[in-house]
């Protein structure tokens, strides 16, 4: 292959890459997020603020596209028009042209000022929630979300009413995360040791997904939470009625980011499938297993209250990575409930439902 045909082949490949990029841009992120009814590059607009934000986005996009096409077009044209031709004398280049320089400096500067103004104005609107907004505390943690409402209820699903401004008070228990509701056009970093705010007025009832948009470790891509926008305020209040969480829910909210219970899969921690009354290989400190213990009520409780006292050696040399905060964070009856659940998930749920029925009869 000579130099010329190599260059042609590279050129052809570059065109393929460019064409693929263009197609990606045309089909738009909206489609990549699984929406067919969004607009060109964006998913559906599920908040009152979304239309304005899309407007600013497209305004800037079209200006950039206009300049991109004209600058690249002119560059291509000049490369062709003034290419070297054998036998043709090289002419002297033209010099300074004041009118040309004004033409290509002043309008872009004015457009930049307009873009800055629009961006800043909308940014301020996004930063300052209305005073009457409903407050919801959002706690992010590797790799789960927890939501706390004005009535003290907690859940791992986000519930909000339609047509009411809602402000999210965002905190992290460990590293950087980001609160991302693409269909509401809301995205805000969550910084450990600080409370950041984001707000929105959802205007379409339905089911959505909250994503973490800041890489936060191995299971970052799984860090999602279901979001429900309720048609009426009454429906929303019914969904967040405080009540005792089931053992299954307690496990899902506190433990399932590191432990599987239905499968033998090893996550950050060992699988807890069938742990109740089984023999466990453990090590005191690091290294090889030093003893075998029976996973009875006492062992399970100790594992939650004082993790790291014994390190599990069930399938892997686990490190001392379990949260040390459960003793403070969970109520004693929640710990009992979790221990019941580890001993026998099915029986624990039956016991919970029986107690719930009894309470309802009262």
- Where does this chain bind ligand HEC (CB under 6 A)? 254-255, 257-259, 268-270, 272, 280, 295, 300, 303-304, 307-308, 311-312, 314, 318, 320-323, 326, 338, 342
Q: Provide the Cα torsion 133, 134, 139, 140; round to 10°.
A: -60
Q: Which does 338 bind (CB under 5 to 8 A by kind): Cu ion, ligand HEC, none?
A: ligand HEC
Q: Are 200 and 184 in contact (CB under 8 A)?
A: yes
Cα 19 to Cα 29: distance, rounded to the nearest angstrom:
16
Q: State the nearest-atom distance from the C-beta of 282 to ligand HEC, in Å.
A: 6
Q: State the nearest-atom distance from the C-beta of 230 to ligand HEC, in Å.
A: 29
Q: Are 49 and 185 in contact (CB under 8 A)?
A: yes
Told to check if 177 binds Cu ion by CB under 5 A, we report yes
- In Å, what is the CA distance from 275 to each residue of 255, 264, 300? 14, 11, 9
Cα 195 to Cα 138: distance, rounded to the nearest angstrom:
10
Q: Which does 203 bind (CB under 5 to 8 A by kind): ligand HEC, Cu ion, none?
A: none
Told to check if 229 binds Cu ion by CB under 5 A, we report no
Closest to ligand HEC by CB, 161 vs 270, is 270
**Overall size of the chain counted in residues:** 362
Closest to ligand HEC by CB, 130 vs 274, is 274
Cα 299 to Cα 295: distance, rounded to the nearest angstrom:
5
Told to check if 223 binds Cu ion by CB under 5 A, we report yes
List the one residue out of 65, 61, 72 whose CA is nearest residue 115.
61
List the one residue out of 115, 108, 122 whose CA is nearest residue 60.
115
Q: State the nearest-atom distance from the C-beta of 1 to ligand HEC, in Å.
A: 55
Told to check if 216 binds Cu ion by CB under 5 A, we report yes
Closest to Cu ion by CB, 177 vs 230, is 177
Q: Which does 259 bind (CB under 5 to 8 A by kind): Cu ion, ligand HEC, none?
A: ligand HEC
List the one residue out of 210, 190, 207, 188 whose CA is nearest residue 199.
188
Of 210, 212, 240, 300, the one binding Cu ion (CB under 5 A) is: 212
The binding site for Cu ion (CB under 5 A) comprises 177, 212, 216, 223
């Amino acid at each position: 292959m000579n130099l010329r045909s190599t260059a042609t082949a590279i050129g052809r490949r570059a065109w393929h890459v460019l064409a693929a990029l263009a197609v990606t841009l045309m089909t738009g992120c909206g489609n990549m997020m699984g929406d067919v009814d969004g607009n060109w590059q964006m998913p559906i607009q599920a908040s009152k603020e979304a239309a304005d934000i899309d407007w600013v986005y497209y305004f800037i996009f079209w200006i950039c596209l206009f300049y991109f096409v004209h600058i690249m077009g002119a560059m291509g044209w000049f490369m062709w028009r003034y290419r070297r031709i054998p036998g043709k004398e090289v002419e002297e280049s033209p010099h300074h042209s004041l009118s040309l320089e004004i033409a290509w400096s002043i309008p872009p500067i004015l457009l930049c000022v307009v873009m800055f103004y629009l961006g800043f104005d909308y940014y301020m609107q996004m930063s300052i929630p209305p005073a009457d907004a409903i407050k919801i505390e959002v706690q992010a943690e590797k790799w789960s979300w927890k939501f706390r409402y004005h009535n003290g209820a907690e859940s791992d699903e986000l519930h909000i009413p339609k047509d009411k401004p809602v402000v999210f008070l965002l905190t992290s228990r460990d590293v950087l995360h980001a609160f991302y509701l693409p269909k509401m056009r809301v995205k805000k970093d969550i910084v450990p040791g600080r409370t950041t705010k984001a707000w929105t007025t959802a205007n379409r009832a339905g089911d959505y997904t909250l994503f973490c948009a800041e890489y936060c470790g191995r299971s970052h891509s799984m860090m999602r939470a279901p979001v429900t926008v309720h048609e009426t305020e009454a429906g929303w209040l019914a969904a967040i009625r405080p009540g005792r969480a089931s053992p299954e829910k307690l496990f899902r909210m506190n433990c399932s980011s590191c432990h599987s219970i239905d499968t033998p899969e090893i996550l950050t921690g060992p699988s807890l499938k069938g742990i109740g009354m089984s023999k466990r290989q453990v090590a005191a400190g690091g290294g090889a297993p030093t003893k075998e213990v029976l996973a009875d009520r006492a062992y399970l409780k100790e594992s939650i209250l004082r993790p790291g006292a014994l390190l599990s050696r069930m399938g892997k040399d686990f490190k001392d990575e379990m949260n040390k905060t459960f003793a403070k964070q969970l109520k004693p009856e929640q710990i009992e409930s979790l221990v019941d659940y580890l001993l026998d998930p099915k029986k624990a749920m039956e016991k919970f439902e029986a107690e719930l029925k009894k309470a309802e009869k009262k």
